[in-house]
Amino acid sequence: MSLSEVYGMASSAMQANRLWIDVIANNVANANTTRTATGDPFRRQIPIFEQLMDKELAMQSTSFPGDGGESGEVPLNYGKGVQATAIVGDQAPFKVIFNPGHPDADAKGFVRMPNISIITEMVDMLAAQRNYDASVQLTNAAKTMGQKALEIGR
- Taking only the tens place, the pLDDT of each residue in 16-68 is 999 999 999 999 999 999 999 998 999 999 999 998 876 555 555 454 555 55
pLDDT average, residue stretch 81-101 = 94
pLDDT digits (tens, 9 = 90+) for 104-154: 999 999 999 999 999 999 999 999 999 999 999 999 999 999 899 888 877
What integer pLDDT is reported at residue 66 of this predicted model? 53
Output the average pLDDT for the chain. 87
121 contacts 28 by C-beta, under 8 angstroms: yes
pTM over 0.85: no
What integer pLDDT is reported at residue 60 of this predicted model? 54
Please state the domain extents for the chain: 3-31+45-64+71-89+116-152
Integer CA distances (angstroms), 24 to 52, 56, 109, 114, in order: 23, 35, 30, 14
pLDDT average, residue stretch 65-85 = 65
